[in-house]
Amino acid sequence: MLSNKKGLTYADAGVDIDAGNKAVELMKDSVKATYRPEVLGDLGGFGGLFSLMDSKIKKPILVSGTDGVGTKLRLAIMMNKHDTVGQDCVAMSINDVLVQGAEPLFFLDYIAVGKLDPVQVATIVKGVAHACEESGCALLGGETAEMAGFYAKDDYDLAGFGVGIVDRDKVITGETIQAGDVLIGLPSTGVHSNGFSLVRKIVLERQNMKLDQYVDELGMTIGECLLTPTRLYPRPCLPIIRNFNVKGMVHITGGGFYENIPRVLPKGIGVEIDVTSWPQLPIFGLLQKWGGVAREEMYRTFNMGIGMIMIVSPEEADAVLENLSSRGEKAYVIGRAVQSDVRVTLKGGAFDD
């Protein structure tokens, strides 16, 4: 028996191939702007090609990292603002690669959507490309997946994968850190991309705030503040890595100070940090007050205004600070390594109560 029903297409199932092709066209120029000389081929192939043949590194080691933006995306979707989360995606992987002493080489992104909007996807990718360009790495490729019936119409997820290169003899491991070494902290731009499940609970549920609500202490709306993208650290840190003996580096992400710093410390070495040694960003004080969050929980969850830590010998600390200052970079001596089985001790201000 013949059916009179029209034959189904992929578009009928919620996947628009033409929209995907349009998105690629819209993002091509921003992607090409990130290309390094080592990039081979063009956008649209099945895989990204990158040559290491001209590397001057004697013992090249590739360092990889992957991450996503997390539930910060919910705020971007609620605000219909998609031009900043691309930097969050790049920063979360590239900053992790950097702490091993690696120069970022290339990055790939993955965007999964409920319904593909070419302009929206191109806006996201332009943010990714801008961050790659700022970090000196190529946006080598990526994937956009339209997953109707899996994601809601306006929802999407964004993740990525970054690769860097370092000489095997110059990999930063933290194993030479010893008592007396100095912790130099570089400021964050805000909450970055961690702790947003708690942030959303505080702001949207406990405070019942609208994201377009202006907050005097912040000088902007709460939504604008929270969507401030994660800072990229390759530009300030790579000259230090190349010219000084950086013993350890820490990217302060989920887990804050208590969970991230011990990852680079040798056995029997702890750190003492003076929390009054850098200016606190207003957003953290507000979140703590609004949520009634304990001090220790704040430093276990958020970066609290310090997004990257470099650990150097006391003999090199002043020169490192001078180098950073000469390039317009703010940095603070936030603590020292000590002989201790207690991995992280916070001092100063309320911690001395």
Q: What's the pLDDT tens digit per position in 240-254? A: 999 999 999 999 999
Tell me what pLDDT residue 114 has.
95
Helices within 45-148 (DSSP H only): 72-79, 85-98, 118-135
Tell me what pLDDT residue 207 has.
98
Q: Which residue did the predictor score with more confidence, 54 or 210?
A: 210
Give φ, ψ of 12 to 5 degrees: -60, -30
Going by the DSSP 8-state scheme, the letter that residue 298 receives in this structure is H
Q: What's the pLDDT tens digit per position in 217-231? A: 999 999 999 999 999
Please tell me whether the overall predicted TM-score, pTM, comes out greater than 0.75 for this model.
yes
Instruction: Find the largest Cα–Cα distance for the chain.
Output: 88
151 DSSP β-pair partners: 148
Tell me what pLDDT residue 353 has.
66
Find all residues with CB under 8 Å of 329, minimum gap 6, and list them: 186, 236
Strand order in the sheet with 332-339: 248-251, 306-312, 182-187, 332-339, 269-274, 344-347
**Contact indicator for 227, 88 with CB cutoff of 8 Å:** no
Going by the DSSP 8-state scheme, the letter that residue 137 receives in this structure is -
- CA–CA gap between residue 221 and residue 268 (Å, rounded): 45
Q: Is the pLDDT of residue 35 over 90?
A: yes
Which amino acid is present at 130? H
Which amino acid is present at 240? I
Tell me what pLDDT residue 4 has.
62
Q: What's the pLDDT tens digit per position in 280-318? A: 999 999 999 999 999 999 999 999 999 999 999 999 999
- CA–CA gap between residue 175 and residue 169 (Å, rounded): 13
Tell me what pLDDT residue 3 has.
57
Q: Is the pLDDT of residue 10 over 80?
A: no
How far is the CA of 163 from the CAs of 26, 29, 109, 289, in angstroms?
Answer: 25, 22, 12, 39
How many other CB atoms are found less than 10 A from the CB of residue 297? Answer: 16
- CA–CA gap between residue 320 and residue 316 (Å, rounded): 6
How many other CB atoms are found less than 10 A from the CB of residue 259? Answer: 16
How far is the CA of 181 from the CAs of 177, 221, 273, 340, in angstroms?
Answer: 7, 40, 12, 13
* Site of tokens 């202490």: 217
Q: Which residue did the predictor score with more confidence, 16 or 344?
A: 344
Q: What's the pLDDT tens digit per position in 163-216? A: 999 999 999 999 999 999 999 999 999 999 999 999 999 999 999 999 999 999
User: What mean pLDDT is reported for the chain?
Assistant: 94
Q: Which residue did the predictor score with more confidence, 38 or 96?
A: 96
Q: What pLDDT band is residue 279 in, cutting at 50, 70 and 90?
A: very high
3-state SS assignment for residue 236: helix
**Contact indicator for 162, 104 with CB cutoff of 8 Å:** yes
Q: What is the mean pLDDT of residues 59-88?
A: 97
**Kindly report the CA angle at 94 between 308 and 342, in degrees rounded to 5?**
35
**Kindly report the CA angle at 331 between 224 and 287, in degrees rounded to 5?**
35
Lookup: tokens for 266: 């040798």
Tell me what pLDDT residue 55 has.
79
Q: Average the pLDDT over each of 20-24, 57-61, 151-155, 345-349 and give the range with the smallest value.
A: 20-24
Find all residues with CB under 8 Å of 104, minimum gap 6, and list them: 94, 97, 98, 135, 136, 137, 162, 163, 164, 234
Q: Is the pLDDT of residue 128 over 90?
A: yes
Tell me what pLDDT residue 71 has.
97
Per DSSP, the residues of 148-215 read BTTB-TT-EEEEEEEEEEEEGGG---STT--TT-EEEEEE-SSSTTS-HHHHHIIIIIIS---TT-EE
